[in-house]
């Protein structure tokens, strides 16, 4: 007998893209008054990648292709592409539309758009895709975080130049989870420029003269640090409360990789188990909206993420923006096929069953 079990949008495939050029702390210290020791001890960063030829769209496309392959789905099933970025090569068209074309989905019934929410962009994109999948006929969605932050760095500003970097990560969502995603999202407009990029053209990598100071990343590091710790703590507590869970129910906590000291402070204050808090900032630097999906993709690659795992993603960024998601890793296409006819995906709220069809949020 066929039994229809409600399935919810869940991340089921992951991918990432890393620019070819690796830049060590020592390389930065050759043209900037800093040192490997200072950068490691104050941020946790050992190296990062800086794009020379790879634009935001290219990085996003590579990450998306890898995520689709990991999910094991037919690319034509992608009905929605959301790209979180603050470093798009163009104001228009969106990076997401260019990825749609690059993936050969222009003649598909796919639609695509970008989200600007700085380092919270992937979380906000995930919530958007989740809601759209639940309310419409979208079978699979791509949520991408892609950044080319190095093009917006004033290489004489050592407090930002040592932190930010380039890369992209992507996740495929299919209706393959047994529980709804739980979201917490907040913003509070900041016109003080605590973290800001004013609009302008790109500045080349290296110690050359600053041609247009407007448009570079500006940051009050101390204020950002304090905001970050309380924002991530609040966000993690909110999704746990909403879901009625404790940290003990969670397999992994994947924070935005802004600074290892920020992650350490949240871990200590919340007494999180250190061995279940994923950190890769040492190898990547801060890649803003890309940092969480890059971490997820690395975890998948190294066998740390299994179908059915429950994870918390949390981040904060300019805006201000902050939030978290409590997510279950979905069952990949090949695995759900072997599960046979007992489990079938439902598309509409009518199939919701007693648990209802809603995404849970605060």
Helical (H) or strand (E) element with 27: helix 25-29
Q: Does 150 bind ligand ACO (CB under 6 A)?
A: no
User: Which of 25, 97, 119, 361 is an active site residue?
Assistant: 119
Let me know if 280 is a catalytic residue.
no
Comparing CB distances to ligand ACO, the nearer of 184 and 227 is 227
Non-local CB neighbours of 233 within 8 Å, separated by 6+ positions: 266, 269, 270
Q: Does 156 bind ligand ACO (CB under 6 A)?
A: no
| 122 neighbors 83 (Cβ within 8 angstroms) | no
Beta-bridge mates of residue 130: none
Comparing CB distances to ligand ACO, the nearer of 172 and 262 is 262
Exposure string of 20-34, with b = 16+ CB inside 10 Å and e = fewer, is ebebebeebbeebeb
| 213 neighbors 191 (Cβ within 8 angstroms) | no
Give Cα 333 distance to the centre of its chain: 22
Residue from 222, 273, 348, 349 binding ligand ACO (CB under 6 A): 222
Per-residue binder mask for ligand ACO (CB under 6 A), 258-297, x = binder:
xx--x-----------------------x-x---------
Q: Locate tokens 């950068």: which residue?
A: 39
Comparing CB distances to ligand ACO, the nearer of 38 and 113 is 38
Per-residue binder mask for ligand ACO (CB under 6 A), 160-179, x = binder:
--xx----------------
User: Which of 16, 183, 256, 361 is an active site residue?
Assistant: 256
Helical (H) or strand (E) element with 115: strand 111-115
Q: Does 111 bind ligand ACO (CB under 6 A)?
A: no
Q: Prior bond to 93 cis, omega within 30?
A: yes
Q: Does 195 bind ligand ACO (CB under 6 A)?
A: yes
Could you tell me the smallest distance in angstroms from the CB atom of residue 81 to ligand ACO? 23
Let me know if 361 is a catalytic residue.
no
Residue 6, CB half-sphere, CA atoms under 13 Å: how many? 16
Active site residues: 119, 256, 286
Binding positions for ligand ACO, rule: CB under 6 A: 34, 38-39, 42-43, 118-119, 158-159, 162-163, 195, 219, 221-222, 224-225, 228, 258-259, 262, 286, 288, 317-318
């Amino acid at each position: 007998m066929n039994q229809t079990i409600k399935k919810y949008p869940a991340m089921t495939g992951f991918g990432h893209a890393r620019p070819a050029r690796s830049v060590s702390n020592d390389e930065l210290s050759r043209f900037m008054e800093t040192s490997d020791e200072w950068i490691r001890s104050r941020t946790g960063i050992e190296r990062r990648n800086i794009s020379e030829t790879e634009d935001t769209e290219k990085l996003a496309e590579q990450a998306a292709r890898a995520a689709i392959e990991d999910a094991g789905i037919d690319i034509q099933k992608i009905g929605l592409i959301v790209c979180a970025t603050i470093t798009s090569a163009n104001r228009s068209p969106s990076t997401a539309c260019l990825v749609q074309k690059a993936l050969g989905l222009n003649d598909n019934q796919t639609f695509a758009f970008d989200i600007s929410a700085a380092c919270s962009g992937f979380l906000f994109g995930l919530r958007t895709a989740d809601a759209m999948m639940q309310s419409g006929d979208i079978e699979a969605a791509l949520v991408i975080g892609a950044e080319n932050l190095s093009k917006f760095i004033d290489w004489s500003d050592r407090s930002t130049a040592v932190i930010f970097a380039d890369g992209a990560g992507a996740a495929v969502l299919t209706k393959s989870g047994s529980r709804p995603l739980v979201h917490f999202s907040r913003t509070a407009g900041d016109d003080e420029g605590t973290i800001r990029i004013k609009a302008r053209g790109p500045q080349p990598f290296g110690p050359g003269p600053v041609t247009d100071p407007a448009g570079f990343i500006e940051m009050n590091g101390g204020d950002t640090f304090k905001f970050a710790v309380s924002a991530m703590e609040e966000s993690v507590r909110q999704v746990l409360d909403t879901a009625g869970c404790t940290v003990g129910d969670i397999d992994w906590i994947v924070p935005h990789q802004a600074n290892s000291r920020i992650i350490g402070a949240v871990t200590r204050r919340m007494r999180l188990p250190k061995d279940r808090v994923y950190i890769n900032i040492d190898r990547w630097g801060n890649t803003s909206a890309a940092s969480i999906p890059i971490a997820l993709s690395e975890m998948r690659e190294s066998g740390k993420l299994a179908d059915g795992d429950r994870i918390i993603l949390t981040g904060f960024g300019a805006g201000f923006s902050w939030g978290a998601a409590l997510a279950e890793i979905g069952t990949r296409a090949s695995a759900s096929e072997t599960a046979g006819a007992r489990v079938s995906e439902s598309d509409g709220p009518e199939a919701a069953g007693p648990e209802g069809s809603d995404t849970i949020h605060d």
